[in-house]
Amino acid sequence: MITAEEIKRMAERGESFNVDFKVAVPPKVRDITEEVCSFANAAGGYVLIGIDDHGVIKGAHVDNSKRSAIQGSIGEISPALHIEIYSVDVDGKEIWVLEVPAGRQLPYFFGGNVFVREGANSQKLTNVEEIRELFQQAEKIYYDSIPTKKYNIYEHLDADIVKMFRQEAHLSNNVDDEQLLENIQAFTENGDVKRGAILFFAQHPEELFFHAVVRCTQFKGTDKLLIIDDKTFGGPLVSQYEQALGWLQDKLKLEYDIHGVGARTEKWEMPLDVFREALINALAHRDYYEQGAFTSVEVYDDRIEITNPGGLLPIVAKHFGRKSLSRNPYIFSLFMRMNLVEHVGSGIGRMQELMLNAGLPEPQYETEGMFNITLYRASALTVEPKLSGLEKQVIELMSGENKPTVDELCEKIGRKKSTTYNLLRSLRKKGYLK
């Protein structure tokens, strides 16, 4: 059971990959059941009745007839799914909680349809290829939900990471480690610890999963002929993220803008938030079934490449940059609870905007087999840069006889006005537009 304080935190953070709000029981109870089904097809989650779309705690009354209707509707999910339904008093207001476990018999159907969680919304899969892909994933089970038998997680816990998780997820210190892991569903129904929990909380998960590391390499020049620095970072995933980010910062150029006497601000050659997004995505979404490759960070004189095993799932490839579906929903949910993932499915667009605002080419992506993101450094601007698909589209639209207005251009390329202005400015600076 979740506590009143946890519900308050969820309300503050808003709806997410594993949290959905309902201000009251909807007239069509199936609306709730669809959310439940989508959570079961991912990492589990919570439907909170009595909270509006803005995160305001209103309270709700669920009488026996409404509760029976909810239970009856959920009973139509196939295979059978057991969830917990209970109420929690939050400052005198009654909040009803539907606690949904991560499904163990994927995929789950409701009304003959498959529902999945995409960002803060549930979506019905309508394409045969998408459903087939979910079946294929189900056959091998999500890597992060596979049980590890005879592994005592308590003997290997990284105390610093557990402490950090408590702080960032705003969890009470009054709950011991055992109860904490139980609350975040670190174990299967049989009591075996999930691989995702080991990767996230164990001191040295690479002792079990040797490939679950980040290799950071710096090369001299623009090819792989001469290695300057080569480090491999293991440990809990959050530690890998922090170490790789720190290593990257050491390789980036840093300038200072002086503002008056003694006042100065740091100016990195690339926005650090771009690397934060890219590294978290790499660790959360990589294909851990692939044991022949590591997550890699490669620094060249003109660019930085971040690569992780596993291309895009077909479901995601169709909506690249707009929707997200993780290979590792349990790991992804833990990153979300630590607020290391800001907006699900928005990472691609956010990185594009950050790079363009910094006057740099937008990221380049390769998505077949491996997922690779290439970020061009400022030094690359002295040579002819590669044009992205978006840049080529803008050049084509602005080179015609009937040039669109900025508003029309925003609509055609699907970008915000600020991003579009920065994109136009960048292309003019490079000489592609007048």
- State the residue range of the domain holding 121: 4-127
Task: Determine the distance from the C-alpha atom of residue 7 to the mean position of all C-alpha atoms in its chain, rounded to a whole number.
Answer: 21
Shared-domain flag, residues 318 and 219 = yes
Q: 406 with 353, same domain? A: no
Say what the pLDDT of residue 380 is. 64
- How high is the pLDDT of residue 311? 60
Segment 64-79, tens digit of pLDDT: 999 999 999 999 999 8
Residue 317 backbone phi and psi in degrees, to 5: -55, -35
Q: Work out the pLDDT band at 383, boundaries 50, 70, 90.
A: very low
Q: At what angle do helices 347-357 and 272-285 cross, to 10 degrees?
A: 160
Q: Are residues 374 and 253 in the same domain?
A: yes
| Residue 340 is assigned to a structural domain of this protein | yes
Contact, 260 vs 222, CB < 8 A? no
Residue 153, domain member (yes or no): no
Q: Higher pLDDT residue, 261 or 336?
A: 336
Q: Is residue 312 part of a domain?
A: yes
Which of 127, 144, 176 is at the close of a domain? Answer: 127
Q: 298-354: per-residue pLDDT in tens?
A: 999 999 999 988 765 544 444 444 445 567 888 988 998 888 875 444 567 788 888
pTM of the model: 0.63
The answer to whether position 404 is within a domain reads: yes
Question: If 0-12 CB within 10 Å is exposed, 13-18 middle and 19+ buried, where does residue 130 land?
Answer: buried
* Euclidean distance between the first and the last CA atom of the chain, given in angstroms as a whole number: 62
Q: Is residue 188 part of a domain?
A: no
Q: Are residues 415 and 378 in the same domain?
A: no
- CA nearest to 424, candidates 400, 403, 406, 402: 406
Establish if 417 belongs to a structural domain.
Answer: yes
Q: Look at residue 134 in the predicted model and tell me its pLDDT.
A: 60
Counting the structural domains of the chain, the total is: 3
Question: ω into residue 314 within 30 of 0, thus cis?
Answer: no
CB of 295 closer than 8 Å to CB of 214: yes
User: Distance between CA atoms of 204 and 213, rounded to whole angstroms?
Assistant: 10
Instruction: Please check the confidence at residue 57 and state whether its pLDDT lies above 60.
Output: yes
Give the model confidence (pLDDT) of 202-217 as tens digits.
Answer: 999 999 999 999 999 9
Residues 226 and 220 sit within 8 Å (Cβ to Cβ): yes
Q: What is the CATH number of the domain that holds 293?
A: 3.30.565.60
User: Do 417 and 347 share a domain, yes or no?
Assistant: no
Flag whether pLDDT at 406 surpasses 80: yes
Above pLDDT 90, what percent of the chain?
A: 41
pLDDT for 386 equals 65
Looking at the fold, whether 219 and 263 belong to one and the same domain comes out as yes
Pick from 42, 47, 36: nearest CA to 110:
36
| Of 12-21, 36-45, 341-350, minimum mean pLDDT range | 341-350
- Give the pLDDT score at 234: 95
Q: What's the average model confidence in pLDDT over 17-41? A: 91
Q: Which residues pair with 47 in a beta bridge?
A: 20, 98
Q: Looking at residue 85, what is its pLDDT?
A: 95
Domain end point (choices 92, 108, 127): 127
